[in-house]
């Protein structure tokens, strides 16, 4: 086997050694002999490389300005990049699941806001009539999946039946992300069918009065019929951080489409108020006063009422093609706060998770913060979001490789990537239950905790996390539910698109199979389960709208060809409705 190599060396030697002899200048002989030595060294190296090609890779990387050492980021397995083509059988299985959900809803409850698959009925959010909660939330998934017949019927319902003239109070945030977001994405994906834009704009105009507060922060509720903002007295009129800061992608895209500045101004004003109200650590408590535009002393967390504030910081930056640096700054500031105060490591299996900070008064009446090792399923959006942020806001060049290389990311980008990968891993670990589904809320064991407190103890040692209040022989706690939430599969979709690592598809497939096994209702639709750690499962008679808008869409996209809705061209709103990235006009003056 060495024969060809030796022959090659002889031939190369005679050809290249002739060149220095033709050079005529003083000291020519010396140069010539040095040249010969140089050539022999090169030839030796060439032979080595020929025999052992891997030897060349590290110096070549150095020569190209890339780190010669491990260029793989955490979570990126060497040689793991697959092709990004569709996994057709799995993708089509998700389409079948969507049809199973939609056709049951259409049969039993078409037009109603919500669906109850066991009682075969629908219900509306208020007694004043529905606002297309499920239909508007599902249409873009039909367009993405190519379900033309279903889409045409849903469009007809929007054209003939959808009305927002309802004299009742609706949640401002939920109505915006699900209904307005769904209509805007439908407009884009249907090649600008104006019906959807008109409906989205009509809805936005009914929501606009909620922004008429002293600070400009929108009120939590809106009477769509009367076009009035309504304070949420259950929370003393305070507004949630996630709710006021998760309307921006929708209102900004509408401003871009309609050329109406008002939508932009109202949405941007909220961000200016939040920026001015910055808490010292860069984090945000979950309530604000709409009168003063100040954060209240309240929990700080990435779960409910906090989550999508952080999500929309990076997504606003991406929506306008990375041109609005203010969002990048706010995002970086918040991610640093998260790393400094919320990111924790579990005691035994070293899982990375995010804890919550809860305010409490000391004996002397001073304000302190208690760390609670609790993580909502909702937080599982953060893993993928951090990876997305690392490859954009945290990148030194654009676009980064897939998977990104170590040297392509800033220090902050590397930090965020690493945490993102670890959080996805932790969220997958919370699927290690009897059903393979993850619970609504997990708690992590802290040093000094008593072992018997941990219902998740499966053997001699308890696992690092447990479901609080779940005790054998007792009714399951609400924390033990799986309500068809999308956050883990959302992160798996992002992680797969950013790495090409097939482990993420495998994990998504395992979750999909668990949903099929435990949530699918034979007569049609899907239902939440009451306890992820109990088989056979008990169901709740409810199919959340985000199953069709988010969970099944992200699963579909995980198995679809990566050219479908590429991350470089789209941002997904928090309800998984895709909006195209655009270049902002003069509108943005926020700095």
Instruction: By CB under 6 A, name the binding residues for ligand DMJ.
Output: 308, 378, 485-487, 546, 550, 574-575
Count how many Cα atoms sit within 13 Å of the Cα of residue 105 in the half-sphere of its side chain. Answer: 30
Instruction: Label residue 548 exposed, middle or buried (CB < 10 Å: 0-12, 13-18, 19+).
Output: buried
**Number of residues that this document lists for the chain:** 591
Residue 182 Cβ, how far from ligand DMJ at the closest point, in Å? 11
Phi, psi at 405, each rounded to 5°: -95, 150
The region that residue 227 occupies, defined by phi over 0 for left and psi between -120 and 50 for alpha, beta otherwise, is left
User: Which residue's CB atom is positioned nearest to ligand DMJ?
Assistant: 574
Instruction: Label residue 367 exposed, middle or buried (CB < 10 Å: 0-12, 13-18, 19+).
Output: exposed
**Which one, 418 or 577, has the nearer CB to ligand DMJ?**
577
553 vs 459: CA distance, rounded Å:
37
Q: Is 96 one of the catalytic residues?
A: no
Residue whose token pair is 């690392």: 390
Residue 303 Cβ, how far from ligand DMJ at the closest point, in Å? 10
**Which one, 179 or 277, has the nearer CB to ligand DMJ?**
179
Residue 327 Cβ, how far from ligand DMJ at the closest point, in Å? 18
**Which one, 356 or 487, has the nearer CB to ligand DMJ?**
487
| Tokens found for residue 414 | 């590397």
| Tokens found for residue 496 | 């797969």
Asked whether the beta carbons of 230 and 172 are under 8 A apart, the reply is no
Peptide bond preceding 509: is omega within 30 degrees of 0, i.e. cis? no
Tell me the pairing of strands 367-372 and 374-376.
unpaired
Which of 403, 408, 468, 397 has its CA nearest to residue 439?
468
Asked whether the beta carbons of 528 and 544 are under 8 A apart, the reply is yes
Residue 542 Cβ, how far from ligand DMJ at the closest point, in Å? 13
**Which one, 133 or 444, has the nearer CB to ligand DMJ?**
133
277 vs 267: CA distance, rounded Å:
16
Residue 544 Cβ, how far from ligand DMJ at the closest point, in Å? 7
Going edge to edge, which strands form the sheet with 287-289? 239-240, 287-289, 294-295
Burial call 51-88: b when 16+ CB within 10 Å, e when fewer: eeeeeeeeeebeeeeeeeeebebebbeeeeeeeeebbe
**Which one, 253 or 454, has the nearer CB to ligand DMJ?**
253
**Which one, 102 or 454, has the nearer CB to ligand DMJ?**
102
The DSSP secondary-structure symbol of 579 reads: E
DSSP labels, 226-260: TTEEE--GGGTT-EEHHHHTSSHHHHHHHHHHH--
**Which one, 138 or 463, has the nearer CB to ligand DMJ?**
138
**Which one, 98 or 546, has the nearer CB to ligand DMJ?**
546
Residue 250 Cβ, how far from ligand DMJ at the closest point, in Å? 12
355 vs 444: CA distance, rounded Å:
9
Residue 123 Cβ, how far from ligand DMJ at the closest point, in Å? 17
Residue whose token pair is 């884009």: 188
Residue 275 Cβ, how far from ligand DMJ at the closest point, in Å? 21
* Active-site residue (options: 408, 440, 487, 575): 440
| Tokens found for residue 590 | 């926020």
**Which one, 305 or 468, has the nearer CB to ligand DMJ?**
305
Residue 586 Cβ, how far from ligand DMJ at the closest point, in Å? 30
Which of 384, 385, 388, 393 has its CA nearest to residue 412?
393
Count how many Cα atoms sit within 13 Å of the Cα of residue 5 in the half-sphere of its side chain. Answer: 12
Instruction: Label residue 120 exposed, middle or buried (CB < 10 Å: 0-12, 13-18, 19+).
Output: middle
User: Which residues are catalytically annotated?
Assistant: 440
């Amino acid at each position: 086997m060495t024969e060809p190599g030796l022959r090659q060396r002889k031939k190369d030697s005679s050809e290249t050694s002739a060149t220095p002899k033709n050079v005529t200048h003083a000291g020519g002989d010396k140069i010539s002999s040095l040249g010969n030595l140089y050539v022999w060294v090169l030839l030796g190296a060439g032979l080595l490389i020929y025999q052992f090609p891997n030897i060349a890779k590290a110096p070549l990387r150095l020569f190209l300005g890339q780190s010669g050492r491990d260029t793989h980021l955490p979570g990126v397995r060497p040689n793991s990049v697959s092709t990004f083509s569709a996994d057709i059988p799995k993708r089509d299985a998700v389409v079948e699941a969507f049809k199973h959900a939609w056709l049951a809803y259409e049969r039993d409850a078409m037009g109603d806001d919500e669906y109850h698959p066991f009682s075969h009925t629908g219900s509306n959010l208020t007694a004043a009539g529905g606002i297309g909660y499920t239909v508007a939330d599902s249409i873009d998934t039909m367009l993405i999946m190519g379900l033309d017949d279903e889409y045409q019927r849903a469009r007809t319902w929007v054209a003939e039946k959808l009305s927002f003239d309802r004299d009742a109070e609706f949640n401002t945030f939920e109505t915006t992300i699900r209904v307005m977001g769904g209509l805007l994405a439908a407009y884009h994906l249907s090649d600008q069918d104006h019906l959807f834009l008109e409906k989205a704009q009509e809805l936005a105009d009914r929501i606009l009065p909620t922004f008429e507060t002293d600070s400009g922060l929108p009120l939590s509720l809106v009477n769509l019929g009367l076009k009035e903002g309504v304070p949420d007295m259950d929370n003393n009129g305070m507004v949630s951080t996630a709710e006021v800061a998760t309307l921006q992608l929708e209102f900004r895209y509408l401003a871009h489409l309609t050329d109406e500045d008002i939508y932009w101004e109202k949405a941007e004003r909220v961000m200016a108020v939040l920026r001015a109200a910055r808490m010292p650590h860069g984090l945000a408590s979950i309530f604000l006063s709409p009168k003063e535009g100040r954060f209240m002393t309240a929990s700080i967390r990435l779960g409910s009422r906090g989550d999508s504030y952080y999500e929309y910081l990076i997504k606003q930056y991406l929506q306008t093609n990375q041109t609005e640096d203010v969002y990048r700054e706010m995002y970086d500031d918040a991610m640093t706060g998260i790393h400094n105060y919320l990111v924790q490591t579990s005691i035994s299996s070293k899982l990375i998770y995010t804890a919550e900070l809860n305010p409490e008064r000391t004996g002397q009446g001073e304000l302190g913060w208690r760390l609670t090792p609790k993580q909502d399923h909702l937080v599982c959006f953060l893993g993928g979001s951090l990876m997305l942020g690392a490859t954009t806001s945290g990148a030194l060049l654009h676009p980064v490789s897939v998977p990104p290389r170590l040297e392509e990311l800033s220090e902050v980008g590397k930090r965020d990537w690493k945490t993102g990968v670890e959080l996805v891993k932790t969220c997958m670990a919370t699927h290690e239950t009897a059903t393979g589904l993850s619970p609504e809320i997990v708690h992590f064991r802290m040093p000094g905790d008593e072992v018997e407190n941990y219902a998740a103890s499966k053997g001699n040692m308890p696992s690092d996390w447990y479901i609080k209040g779940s005790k054998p022989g007792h009714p399951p706690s609400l924390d033990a539910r799986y309500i068809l939430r999308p956050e883990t599969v959302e992160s798996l979709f992002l992680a797969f698109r950013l790495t090409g690592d097939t482990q993420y598809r495998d994990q998504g497939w395992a979750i999909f199979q668990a949903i099929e096994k435990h949530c699918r209702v034979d007569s049609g639709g899907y239902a939440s389960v009451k306890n992820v750690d109990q088989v056979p499962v008990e169901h709740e008679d409810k199919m959340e709208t985000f199953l069709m808008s988010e969970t099944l869409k992200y699963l579909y996209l995980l198995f679809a060809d990566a050219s479908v809705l590429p991350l470089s061209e789209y941002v997904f709103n928090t309800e998984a409705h895709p909006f195209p990235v655009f270049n902002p006009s003069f509108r943005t003056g926020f700095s």
